[in-house]
Structure 1
C-alpha cells in the first residue's frame, strides 16, 4: 500500500436535536474527516469522534488535528504498510490519543479493503449481513417528552432503547418508563455520574429488568465498578473505562462488569477493536457498538465492526436521519424493521458525498508523501 497524500478536513454539522447527557449538551458536531489517497488513485476514509472540549475523554477535535498533522501523519508517511495492523504498530510508542489514531487506522482499513476489492466487514472477519439497531435517548425537558420519544422509537422498530440517567433523573424516570413500556429491551447510561457512595441507591436499578447499566462510575475506574457489580444483579457495561485490550483483560479478571461497549474511536482503531473482540469472545463477554454522534463515514465503520460475531447486543448505530438533515455519504444509512444492512461493496460501502462535505467543511490541509 503506497500512500500518495492524506487530507484533513475540519467539519461542522448541526444536529437535528440537541443531545443532552449527564456531562453536557451538544447542538453541533465538530469532527475531522481523514482521506488517505493511494498512488493507485483509491481513497480510504476515517472520521474523528472527539468533542470540542474534553467532557468524554481527554482528547478534543483540535488536539486531534495537532496529533494528526504534526505527529501521526509524518510517522505514517515513513512507515511501510503491508497491512492495516502496521498502523497501530507504528503508533505503539505514542501514548493515548486513541481517537486521533483511530481516524487514520480506519482510513487505512477502508483503503485496504478497497484495494482487495472486498467490503470492510469481510476484511475484518464480519459474519452478519444485517445488524440490529438500538437508539440512545438523551435527557429530556420532561418525563412526558421522554415517554413520547420512546413511544416513537418503539413504533419505528428499534431493537433496544437506551436512556441517559443522572442524579435527579434516574429511578423515577425508569419507573415511569417501565409503567408505560413494561417489556421493551431497556438500558440506562450514566456517563460516570455516580460514585461509590451511591451503591445502596443504585441497587434500586435491579427493580427495572434492565439489560444493563452503562458506566455508572468514573471514566478511569475498574475497581469501584467491580465492587458495584457484586451488589447488583443488573449487568454493568463498561464504556469510558475501556481503551485497550489490556483494560478489558483487567476488567474481566476482577469482574468490573459483564458487558463491553466498544467504540472504535475510543480504543484507537479497528485493529485494537479486533483484539478486544477476540478476548471478549474467549471469555463469553457480550459486546455492542456504542455511538459518538458520528456522521456517515464513522457510522459506516460502526456498521462493519458490528458485523463481527460477538456483537450480540443492539448498538447505537441509528440511521443518518436520526441525527442529520443531510449526511455526507451516498446512500445515507437507513433502517428497516430495526435492522441496517451490512454493505457488500468494496470498503465501507458508502460513497462520500463531496458536495455535502464541501458544504460542511470549515477548512482543510493536504499532506503529500515525498518518499
Structure 2
C-alpha cells in the first residue's frame, strides 16, 4: 500500500481512497536484463479493476509468457489476450515491464521507441479534491502558491453545491489558471446540463460528466466549452466511436485501463492523427508507473498534449530511485535506458509470486 501524502482522496458520490494498492512486476530475460512494470488502481470504485484481481490474474498469465521474446510486444499482447480474455488492467504491468526491458536491451530511453522525445518537460496539473467550499479554496490556493497553474477541480456531486464550489475556486485563483472540472462520470445528463448552464461565464474544460459516450455527447451539444473524456476511453474501438460521434475534443488515456504501454501508444498515435488533445496518465502508481506516463507524455506531440500528473509525488512510499524529475510545475523523464528508473528491491520485500523457465 502507498498512502497519500495529503491524506484521503475524495471524489464525487462519497468515493474516497487512502492510497494506491500497487502491483509491481519484473521480467528478466535470459541475458540478465530486467524490466519493470506497475499497476495501481484507485480503490475498487474508479475503474473496472481492483488490486486483488490484478495479483490473481498475474499468477494466471505469467507462466504462459515464459520462453517468449519480451521484445515482441505485439505478439506478447496477442498472447495475453488469447489466454486471458478481457481484464486489460491485469496485463498492463506485464506489458510495461516488457516495454522497459525492450528499450533497455536497445540501450535507449523508452521515449525513443514510443516515437521520439518532443521536448524536455511536460506541464503538470494538480487535483482539488471534493470538499467544502472553504476546503477547496484553501487547496486551490495552496497549489497555486506551489507554482502550479493547472487545476483539476472535482465535481460530480450535488449540482448546486458543485456550482458554488467551482465558482468559488475560479474566483480565488489568478486569472489565466487552467481549470478542468472533472465529474468522473458522476452526473446524469439533467444534472450536467444544470451545471453547464449555471457556469457559462467561468473558463474551464469539462471532463467526463456522464457515464456513457452518448450521454456525454448529449451534454456537449449544449456546451460552450471543450470537453475531455476519460472513463469512456477503454479501447481503440471506444476511441474511434468517440471520434465518429464528435463526442469530445480531448482524451485522457490511462495505461492500465487500456492494457499497457503498447496499446496506449497505439491509441495515442491514432487519436493524435484524428485531431484529439491528449493526456496520458494512469489510475495510480509511484515511480515506475509515473516514469511510463512521462515517456508516453513526452513522446506525444507538444501541440496535442494537454498535461501530465506526477503520481510518485502523491505517495509516502518510495519504491525506486532516479524518479521522473519534477521542476516547479513540469515533469521530465529519468536519465537512462528503458523507463530510466532503478527499483529498490530492499523496499519491496518478498514477492507474492515468482515463476521461471
Same fold (TM over 0.5): yes
In structure 1, distance between residues paired with 2:58 and 2:328: 39
User: In the TM superposition, what are the counterparts of 1:1-371 in structure 2 within 5 Å?
Assistant: 12-16=1-5, 17-23=7-13, 24-53=15-44, 55-70=45-60, 72-77=61-66, 79-93=68-82, 94-127=84-117, 128-140=119-131, 142-168=132-158, 169-181=161-173, 182-204=175-197, 205-210=199-204, 212-218=205-211, 221-310=212-301, 312-318=304-310, 320-321=312-313, 323-358=314-349, 364-369=352-357
SS at 1:231's partner residue?
A: coil
CA contact (8 A) 2:156 2:183 kept: yes
In structure 1, distance between residues paired with 2:69 and 2:112: 23
Q: Number of matched residues?
A: 348
Compared with structure 1, are the counterparts of its residues 356 and 315 closer, same or farther at alpha carbon in structure 2 (3 Å cutoff)? Answer: farther
With 59-68 and 99-108 compared, the bigger mean Cα shift is at 59-68
CA contact (8 A) 2:141 2:172 kept: no
Compared with structure 1, are the counterparts of its residues 81 and 34 closer, same or farther at alpha carbon in structure 2 (3 Å cutoff)? Answer: closer
RMSD across aligned C-alpha pairs, in angstroms? 1.9
Q: State the TM-score, normalized to the length of structure 2.
A: 0.91
- Residue by residue, what CA displacement relative to the aligned partner does 1:116-138 show, whole Å, maximum 9, x if unpaired? 10101112113222211111221
Aligned-pair distance for 1:28? 2.9
Of Structure 1 and Structure 2, which has the larger fraction of its residues in strand?
1
Aligned-pair distance for 1:231? 1.0
In structure 1, distance between residues paired with 2:56 and 2:154: 32
CA contact (8 A) 2:10 2:17 kept: yes
In structure 2, distance between residues paired with 1:254 and 1:275: 20
- Residue by residue, what CA displacement relative to the aligned partner does 1:197-222 show, whole Å, maximum 9, x if unpaired? 22430323432110x2111111xx11
- Residue by residue, what CA displacement relative to the aligned partner does 1:15-37 show, whole Å, maximum 9, x if unpaired? 22211111511113212111111
Long gaps (5+) in structure 1: 1-11
Aligned-pair distance for 1:192? 1.1
Long gaps (5+) in structure 2: none
